[in-house]
């Protein structure tokens, strides 16, 4: 895969955020794999990895601190309260990079899609979103999780009349200057954060584009399906009946650009 930029182009900086909670077993391998990907696809000195450690009760915090001695481009944020959304917002607000991206520590999404996400932002979109539900995507997961995901995204699209297919995929790149001013409007600090961020961005007229991903379900996922489903259902209800909320009647023609087959990854 070709690097995002040539040596003659002005560097675009990118911070990749990894939110972690009790992840002492997987953190080291994640940082190693992600570092290799960034070294191969981005200019030296243009990128960092930000670990947002949020309320862990195991050795995750100590391990994260120790990894900074091995990886000088690694920065650790220790946040007292658990919650993926709160951890992401905290890191976004403290980043100084042009682009902030994030992914889950399990690396369920293949990292070959990361340069494409970043390129979409460099080329002018505000948020590039990985989607497991595009025709070009390749997804391996249980039937139960597949049905839940499709039902949730179908309901989200019907209620809010939005065109994106996968609001909850943990694989996104965002233009930091555009997204940070949105953060005070986002009330959820847990799993619904992704959906709320995209809905607020779409309502504000942001340029959003989805890209296909290769995604494999992690059998050791920390997602508690029952409580997460209830949290997200409540989030949809809260936003729908929030005072002043009005969904756009149609996507602005200059904003939504469907992913083309030529831009898909090559299996």
The CA-atom distances, in angstroms, between 101 and each of 19, 88, 95, 120 are: 11, 10, 11, 12
What SS3 class is residue 256? coil
Q: Which residues contact 124 (CB under 8 A, 6 or more apart)?
A: 207
Q: How far apart are CA 107 and CA 218, in angstroms?
A: 9
Q: What is the DSSP letter of 165?
A: S
What SS3 class is residue 149? helix
- From 211, 2, 32, 21, select the one nearest 107 (Cα to Cα): 32
Q: How far apart are CA 178 and CA 202, in angstroms?
A: 12
Q: How far apart are CA 127 and CA 38, in angstroms?
A: 19
Q: How far apart are CA 147 and CA 92, in angstroms?
A: 31
- From 157, 234, 140, select the one nearest 191 (Cα to Cα): 234
Catalytic entry in 104, 106, 166, 194: 194
Let me know if 218 is a catalytic residue. no
Burial annotation 133-172 (CB, 10 A radius, 16+ → b, else e): bbebbebebeeeeeebbeebbeebeeebebebbbbbbbbb
Enzyme catalytic residues: 194
């Amino acid at each position: 895969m070709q690097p995002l930029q040539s040596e003659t182009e002005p560097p675009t900086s990118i911070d990749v955020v990894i939110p972690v909670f009790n992840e002492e077993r997987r953190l080291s391998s994640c940082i190693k794999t992600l570092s290799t990907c960034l070294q191969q696809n981005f200019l030296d000195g243009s990128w960092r990895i930000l670990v947002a450690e949020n309320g862990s009760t195991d050795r995750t915090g100590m391990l994260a601190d120790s990894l900074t001695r091995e990886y000088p481009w690694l920065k650790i944020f220790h946040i007292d309260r658990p919650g993926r959304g709160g951890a992401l917002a905290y890191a976004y607000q403290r980043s100084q990079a042009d682009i902030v991206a994030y992914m889950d520590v399990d690396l369920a999404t293949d990292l070959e899609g990361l340069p494409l996400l970043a390129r979409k932002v460099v080329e002018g979109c505000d948020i590039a979103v990985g989607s497991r539900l595009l025709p070009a995507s390749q997804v391996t997961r249980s039937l139960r999780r597949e049905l839940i995901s499709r039902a949730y995204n179908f309901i989200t699209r019907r209620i809010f009349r939005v065109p994106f297919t996968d609001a909850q995929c943990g694989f996104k790149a965002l233009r930091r200057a555009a997204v940070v001013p949105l953060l005070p409007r986002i009330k959820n600090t847990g799993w619904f954060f992704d959906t709320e961020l995209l809905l607020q961005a779409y309502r504000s007229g942001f340029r959003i584009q989805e890209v296909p991903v290769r995604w494999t379900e992690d059998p050791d996922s920390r997602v508690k399906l029952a409580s997460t489903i209830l949290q997200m259902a409540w989030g949809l209800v809260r936003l729908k009946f929030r005072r002043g909320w009005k969904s756009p009647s149609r996507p602005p023609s200059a904003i939504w650009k469907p992913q083309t087959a030529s831009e898909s990854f090559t299996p």
